[in-house]
Structure 1
Amino acid sequence: MSKAFLSPGEIAEATIATGVKKANHSTVNMIILGILAGLFISIGGHADITIMQTFTDIDIGITKFLGGAVFPVGLLLVVVAGGELFTGNCLMTMALVDKKITLNQMLKNWSLVYLGNFIGSIIFAASLVFAGAYKLGGPMAETALTIATGKMSASVAQIIVKGIYANILVCLAVWLAYGAQDIASKTIAMWFPVMTFVMLGFEHSIANMFFLPLAKFLGFEVSWAQMWLHNIIPATIGNIIGGGIVIPLLYYIVYILPQRKADIKSKSRA
């Protein structure tokens, strides 16, 4: 009988193996899969706005909960259907520390996937506005503008901190998905961490590549430079700290490092 799920130590090994696979994707595949992931996350963001605009006047807690409840469809599509998401790929640092990939390989993946994520996000945001999904003065547009206002109102330091916690939860969602052995289990495992980060208002750099340009296309007064320097880049820094340092490195110390030390001792005795 096959196992229903992996142990934390086995998930750590699977994370390293996945990092190696990601590092060896071709340039074209990284960009294509990055564009798809940007599109998928943006679909989750669009669903979030759609349900939030319906419940805005009822209760803010319920509104955030329901918006968060639909947003995880984006990560589900990335992990199960296939996509390369920068924030999830921050876990590649575990393969780097284990010397299975090089720094150049990881940075190449991060850069190309990040670019692809932005392309996918911006295309989806622009196409929605073109298609009339967000009519100026309507509840959808007003909700999108409110979200953007909140994101641009926070300080850079606040955005970095929120970015740390956002990607701790996103990478834990991916971590749990690696441990699940069927699609239903992966769906449940990912849904709650992602729903929680959205509900709590944390900052996800790729999601913000959809929310902020969407608002700009709707007339929100913010320059591209302000958007990047005040929000997306600080969120990215926080995401790297949370998903590229806190989760993979601490779990590496706990689950992988002792095994590697034991392997070295075993080889020296032989």
Structure 2
Amino acid sequence: MNSPKEVANHCLEIGKNKASLPAGRMFLLAVLAGMFIALGAVGANTVSCLMENGSAAKIAAGVIFPAGLAMVVIAGGELFTGNCLILLSVLGKRTSAEKMLRNWIIVYLGNFVGAIFVAWGVYAGGQTQLFQGALLELTIQTAVTKCGHTFGEALLLGVFCNFLVCIAVWMGFAGKTAVDKIVGLFFPIFLFVASGYEHSVANMYYIPAGIFSAGEAGQSMGLTWSGFLFSNLLPVTIGNILGGALLVAGIYYLVYIKGESQT
């Protein structure tokens, strides 16, 4: 297992390489990552939709959802929330802020495309009709709940979420085998799902899927694209950046990188 300091130095090079990817390759890897996270969300909802006990449903969703990040890490993908760690490479002078922002923008858009594609596919394929419409009901209710937060609530829930996601990625980097990496990332992701925190890329699936499903059910439930973008996605994205870039990359830079000689 790699030590935290070894992980920090590893992250310096990973961030540099991620920021230097050609735009086309970066976008395609981001589309895949958006699909991976969305499919993790599909599985989490599918498994938990018949559970009447809320705690049991959260536990079930928390067990299934980490499969999305496991696919990103093991199969390869560019995930906006995890890429908030590129700030470590900027602070460590391995890449530039401009390259980091380029990565964030391209990856964010690619994640959106991948997640929306899965949301549409689940709707168009009739998957939400499973279990006599129980999955349809949960899909709509999940979106309604997520769009019901105030701006400040969504932002703070986003901070805690990506703090845990970036810690999960960090712990994954500590492993040297596929099993090590999956075990390392599992528990922080379980915590964020079970705690109800807000993940911008997951919400690129959850809320559009709810909008599509509400239309299918003939009831809007107050779900709108503008509400999705400005009441949820915007504050959650800001919170994700603060939680991942500042609280993880920033703090670990101060602890392990600042003042150390760089080769």
How does the TM-score come out when normalised to structure 1? Answer: 0.92
Matched, 1:22 2:18: yes
Shift of 1:206: 0.2
**Unaligned segments of structure 1, at least 5 residues:** 265-270
For 2:33, give the aligned amino acid.
Answer: A
Match of 1:109 among 92, 103, 107: 103
Between the aligned partners of 2:258 and 2:91, the Cα distance in structure 1 is 10
Give the Cα separation in 2 of the matches to 1:128 and 1:226: 21
State the partner residue of 2:38.
Answer: 42
In 1, Cα distance between the equivalents of 2:233 and 2:63? 23
3-state secondary structure, aligned to 2:185? helix
Residue in structure 2 matched with residue 73 of structure 1 by the alignment: 67
Residues 193-215 of structure 1 deviation map (CA, whole Å, 9 limit, x = unaligned): 00110010000000000000000
Q: Give the structure 1 partner of residue 250 of structure 2.
A: 249
Q: Quote the Cα distance in structure 1 between the aligned partners of 2:129 and 2:68.
A: 24
1:119 aligned to 2:120? no
- CA-CA distance at 1:223 after TM superposition: 2.1
Taking the aligned partners of 1:173 and 1:29, their CA distance within structure 2 comes to 24
* Of 89, 92, 106, the match for 1:95: 89
Letter in 1 for 2:230: L
Partner residue, 1:267: none
Distance apart, 1:224 and its partner CA: 1.4
**2:232 aligned partner, one-letter code:** N
Residue correspondences, number: 256
1:145 is displaced (CA, Å) by 1.1
**2:33 counterpart of 1:32:** no
Task: Tell me how far apart the structure 1 counterparts of residues 61 and 178 of structure 2 sit (CA, whole Å).
Answer: 23
Q: Report the counterpart of residue 53 of structure 1 in structure 2.
A: 49
Moved over 6 A (4+): none
* Deviation of the 1:146 alpha carbon: 1.2
Per-residue CA deviations over 1:48-81 (Å, capped at 9, x if unaligned) read 10011121x1x21111011111000000000110
Rounded Cα–Cα distance in structure 1 between residues aligned with 2:9 and 2:159: 23
- TM superposition shift of 1:259: 1.6
Give 3-state SS (helix, strand or coil) of 1:100's partner.
coil
Q: What is the match of residue 228 of structure 1?
A: 229
Distance 1:134 1:35 in 2: 23
The alpha carbon displacement at 1:103 in A equals: 1.1
AA at the equivalent of 2:94:
K
The CA deviation at 1:154 is 1.1
C-alpha separation between the residues in 1 aligned to 2:46 and 2:227?
A: 26
Give 3-state SS (helix, strand or coil) of 2:126's partner.
coil
Distance 2:227 2:57 in 1: 28
Q: CA RMSD in A?
A: 1.3
Q: Distance in 2 between matches of 1:142 and 1:223?
A: 17
Matches of 1:48 and 1:185, distance apart in 2:
23
1:76-120 deviations in whole A, cap 9, x for unaligned? 000110000000000000000111111110011000000000000
1:195 to 187, 190, 193: 190
Deviation at 1:43, TM superposition (A): 0.5
User: Distance in 2 between the 1:124 and 1:240 partners?
Assistant: 24
Alpha-carbon distance between aligned partners in 2 of 1:38 and 1:65, rounded to the nearest angstrom:
23
Look up the equivalent residue of 2:156 and give its one-letter code.
Answer: V
Identity of aligned pairs, percent? 36
- Determine the structure 2 residue equivalent to 1:163: 158
What is the rounded CA distance, in whole Å, between the counterparts of 1:180 and 1:133 in structure 2? 36
Match of 1:195, SS? helix
Instruction: Name the counterpart of 2:217.
Output: none
Larger gyration radius, structure 1 or structure 2: 1
